[in-house]
Structure 1
Amino acid sequence: MKSKSLVLLSLLFICSCQKKEYKKVLHDPRLFSETVKELNHVVMDNSFSPVVASRNYAYAAIAAYEVIAAGLPEKYQTLQGQLKDLDSLPNLKEKHKVDIEYAALLAFCSVGQAVTFPEGSMKLYVDSVKQLAADHEMPEDVKSQSEDFASQISKAIINWSKGDNYLKTRAAEKYIVTNNDGYWAPTPPMYGDAMEPHWNQIRPFVLDSADQLRAPKPLEFNMKDTSSAYYKEVMMLKRASENLTEDQKHMALFWDDNPLKMNVYGHAQFSSKKFSPPAHWMSITGIAAEKAKFNYAETVYAFAKVSIALFDAFIQCWDSKFTYSTARPETVINKFIDKNWTPLLQTPPFPEYTCGHSTISSSAGEVLTEIYGDNFAFTDTTEREFGIKDRSFKSFRAAAEENNWARFYGGIHFHQSCLVSTDLGRKVGQMVVAKLKMKR
């Protein structure tokens, strides 16, 4: 597991000559971005699926944001009454000595580890943050009251999270594979069960319901007629996969974001892990915040709004996926064209239509565009730690559009599916932008 305190040690070194200026350390927006990254690593180490991961990020970021909104009500508006069933949160009393940046960080960690993970998953990291506050001589009354307010907000958000049907879906019936042509079936090498087939039962934040933006019917399965639209889609993907340029391969691998890849070499099997799709976009949010020189509150706001869009986009997409339950390219090509064909990327264990990564990417792209502006050029360094070189983009929408090509070049999604998904994800993102009033 990655060290829990690299950023803390770095900031401690920078501020070692400023013992009493705890705000220099704890109010640095980079600290919050690195804390989000720490949660990314906890998610990755625990092998949580992308959809479950989006739940952790969203509730954690909302908790942090509500601390900010309570402390800066003249600048930020609470999400009470805006997000579904979020009706009552603790108030910050005027005489309380709360350091809102410190409290927001603790609330993020507390909720992030409690929503899904075993208790204490981020304990070492939280302890190091608290020690940082003590070492830099945060007044004890400020420290204790900040920790108390963070705890109050965390408990309220965790209680609210319990009403989203997550636990109910843990006990839902197992998805039944039909084995009919054109329908989803487990794929090699993992042959995993369908991932989160009941996620459309999860309560959304902004969408009225999971099926509010359900995708149109997919192309009709037809591998007998070589002139059919479906057959042409299959052949377009197969030809592309067999003639990839080095840049197309890099594109596919950069956006792979497979949280648990099964590697098989003869009789040897082992898994490898990377950040999941929502973790990648949370990372991009932090990269943009630093480039834009956002302050602490602005950074928290950006993470919260993006995480809400990611969460609802997954609900929308998974509703479409398991409504239509379409076969993956690997299944179709192996049965009807070439039994030895394999995609560049490993096929994940859920239906093809619509594309989850394309949906959530375009949803996040719309929100990030609203926050930072269009034509916000940036270099995405997220994949460096996994040995994949950076890619640069002229805008967030351009990054999202590249992603839909990446899933096609990776051989795991038909391009028509990616195009539909990109359109639907944009609509989710636009709905989040239109409905949520956060900055005053």
Structure 2
Amino acid sequence: MNRKKNLISGLVIVLTLLLGACQSKKDYARTIHDPVLFSKTVKKLNDVVLENNFAPMVASRNYAYATIAAYEIVVAGDPANYQSLYQQIKHMPKMPAPEDTSRIDFPLAAMLAFTKVGNAVTFPEGSLMDYYGQLLNIADSVGMPAEKISGSIAYSDTVVATILGWAKKDNYAETRSATRYTVNEEPGRYVPTPPMYAQAVEPHWMEIRPFVLDSAAVCRAIIPPNFEPNNKNSAFYKAMMEVKLIGDSLTEEQKHIADFWDDNPFKMNVTGHVMFATKKFSPPGHWMNIVGIAAQKAGADFNTTVTGYAKTAIALFDGFISCWEGKYMYNYIRPETVINQLVDPEWRPYIQTPPFPSFPSGHATVSAAAAETMGSVFGENLAFTDTSLLEFGIANREIKSFRDAAAEAAMSRLYGGIHFRFDNDLGSESGKRVGELIVKKLTMKKN
């Protein structure tokens, strides 16, 4: 009888230990493999980009390399379901293969790689390394074995080194010392706008190496209307007056749309003789935030969430290269400039005109590109509440689909008074082609 009791007690102890071990394993996986933690990790990079005034197109580069690093680690951990971008992005090198997968927690490695790449492509130096340490502390505190943590660090570092070596060859460094924009005095050409009259931003961005586009000109926006401000029957004159008339009679809803999608990373406010800057997400930062919201609404797992971020970041990056090729080729005048010259010298747009040519609209272009890629990952008709601007005191918007969000972002530029309607419409068409090309060319999820 005692022997039977001892046997039962022994079995109970063994089962308890096994259940405890399973529970411990489940506990750390529940925390580290939570896609919300990856979204929080992306938000940390977003905050660094915001605080340090990265221009929108530069921000898109920051997000792109960091998310690709994370995605390639997802592929290494789940090769049956995910496909590397190697040989899909022609110039991308092959990522190092893990030597011992049993020693790697791939979600942790993906977040570590994202953070280290994000840290390397932003400034000031070390901005994200405190958060890198926090990720390691979280993994340790929820019971991840030390050998898995060290193995994850080691593997992520090999991917980081490969990604950063690749990034150095995209012509970004060379464009930092390229010639500045020279104002063209011909009628209809862009000139700096109030209140900063700043130099036009990134006039050589079209020289950056794209990921999927064969060249910056592949999806160029169709030619804008001829500059005919004195011909009341011309497409240009009608578009110019539409900007002024809408700007002079904005509804509260139109103001909300303009404010919500303003996404000006560095707005200069002028009150009398006092000038001060305020910051918001740039357009790519806003769309990165939307990816996290959409992933959670769709109930996406960790790997799908990372895929959504990477695919969208690629679309934003290539979208800006495509758009900037058109901007500096057409070098089109801003509505504010021509309205001040010919209609009302005191007129000002509702939101601040950004410092680069008008056609095509950058926000319209990259938003349309992002909408196509996000739809391919999370579903075209996913409705969600965009809470991105709450931290800046701007109320949420209810969004019916990614394409509706892109269309609203484009229209916001007309309501804001900083773009002609044709800037937005033709920019949206161009961006949609960029997004469609990325969806067609890149196979990320195999099934």
TM category, shorter: over 0.9
1:19 touches 1:135 (CA, 8 Å); kept in 2?
A: no
**Is 2:238 aligned against 1:238?**
no
CA contact (8 A) 1:63 1:157 kept: yes
The counterpart of 2:118, out of the listed 112, 115, 119, is 112
TM-score normalised by length of structure 1: 0.94
Q: 2:15 maps to which residue? A: none
Q: Provide the C-alpha distance between the structure 2 equivalents of 1:95 and 1:20, rounded to a whole number of angstroms.
A: 18
Instruction: Name which of 195, 199, 221 aligns with 1:215.
Output: 221
Structure 2 SS opposite 1:392: strand
1:145 corresponds in structure 2 to 151
CA distance in 1, matches of 2:153, 2:101: 15
1:318 aligns with 2:324: yes
Please give the per-residue CA displacement for 1:266-292, whole angstroms capped at 9, x wherever unaligned: 111110000000011111111010011
Tell me the amino acid that sits aligned with residue 155 of structure 1. Answer: A
Give the CA deviation at 1:228.
1.3
1:116: how far off? 3.5
Aligned residue for 2:268, secondary structure, equals: strand
Per-residue displacement from partner, 1:135-190 (whole Å, max 9, x unpaired)? 22211111101001111101100100011000010010111002332100110111
CA contact (8 A) 2:264 2:279 kept: yes
Matched, 1:366 2:366: no
**Aligned-partner Cα distance in 2 for 1:244–1:217:** 29
**Conserved? CA contact 1:84–1:204, under 8 Å:** no
Q: Distance in 1 between matches of 2:24 and 2:388?
A: 31
Secondary structure (helix, strand or coil) at the match of 1:157 reads helix
- State the partner residue of 2:335: 329
1:301 aligns with 2:307: yes
**Contact conserved, 1:53 with 1:278, CA < 8 A, in 2?**
yes
Deviation at 1:19, TM superposition (A): 9.7
1:179-198 matches, within 5 Å, as 179-198=185-204
Query: Is residue 306 of structure 2 the alignment partner of residue 292 of structure 1?
Result: no
Partner of 2:103: helix, strand, or coil?
Answer: coil
Q: TM-score, normalised to structure 2's length?
A: 0.93
Write the distance in 2 (CA, Å) between the matches of 1:390 and 1:156.
39
Q: What amino acid is aligned across from residue 176 of structure 1 in structure 2?
A: T
Which of 278, 281, 306 is matched with 1:275 structurally?
281
The residue number in structure 2 matching 1:10 is: none
Measured on the aligned residues, the alpha-carbon RMSD in Å equals 1.3
Q: CA deviation at 1:94?
A: 4.2
Matching of residue 100 in structure 1 with residue 100 in structure 2: no
Task: Please state if 1:382 is matched with 2:406.
Answer: no
Looking at structure 1, the residues matched to 31 and 213 of structure 2 have their Cα atoms a distance apart, in angstroms, of 38
1 CA distance for matches of 2:383 and 2:362? 24
User: For 1:66-92, what per-residue CA distance to the aligned partner results, in whole angstroms no more than 9, with x for missing partners?
Assistant: 000011100100111111311221101
- CA separation in 1, counterparts of 2:110 and 2:369? 25
Q: Which runs of 5+ in 2 are unaligned?
A: 1-22
- Aligned pair 1:79/2:85, yes or no? yes
- In structure 2, the residue corresponding to 1:382 is in which secondary structure? coil
Answering whether residue 65 of structure 2 is matched by residue 59 of structure 1, we say yes
Q: 1:131 aligns with which of 124, 127, 137?
A: 137
AA paired with 2:217? D
d(CA) in 2 for partners of 1:41 and 1:179?
A: 38
Kindly indicate whether the alpha-carbon contact (under 8 Å) linking 2:298 and 2:382 is maintained by their aligned counterparts in 1.
no
Q: Which amino acid aligns with 1:185?
A: V
Q: Distance in 2 between matches of 1:198 and 1:116?
A: 19
Q: Deviations over 1:331-356 (max 9, x none)?
A: 00001110000000100000000000
Partner of residue 168 from structure 1, selected from 170, 174, 178:
174
Q: Distance in 2 between matches of 1:372 and 1:134?
A: 32
Q: Which consecutive residues of structure 1, in runs of 5 or more, have no partner in the other structure?
A: 1-16
CA displacement 1:86-107 (0-9 Å, x = unmatched): 1221101245510000000000
Shift of 1:117: 2.5
Q: Are the aligned partners of 1:20 and 1:136 in contact in 2 as well (CA < 8 Å)?
A: no
| Identical aligned residues as a percent | 50
- Cα gap change, 1:438/1:335 in structure 2, threshold over 3 Å: closer, same or farther? same
Check if 1:252 corresponds to 2:261. Answer: no
- The reply on whether 1:341 has 2:321 as its aligned counterpart is no
Larger-Rg structure = 2
1:20 CA drift (Å): 8.1
Structure-2 separation of matches of 1:19 and 1:68:
19
SS of 1:379's partner is strand
Q: 1:162, 1:96 → 2: CA distance?
A: 32
Q: List structure 1 segments (4+ residues) > 4 angstroms apart after TM superposition.
A: 17-20
Q: Secondary structure at the match of 1:270?
A: strand
Distance 1:360-1:336 versus aligned 2 partners, 3 A rule: same
Which deviates further from its counterpart, 62-71 or 395-404? Answer: 395-404
Structure 1 residue identity aligned to 2:194: P
Aligned to 1:402: 408
CA distance in structure 2 between the partners assigned to 1:179 and 1:384 by the alignment? 42
State the Cα distance separating 1:18 from its structure 2 match. Answer: 6.7
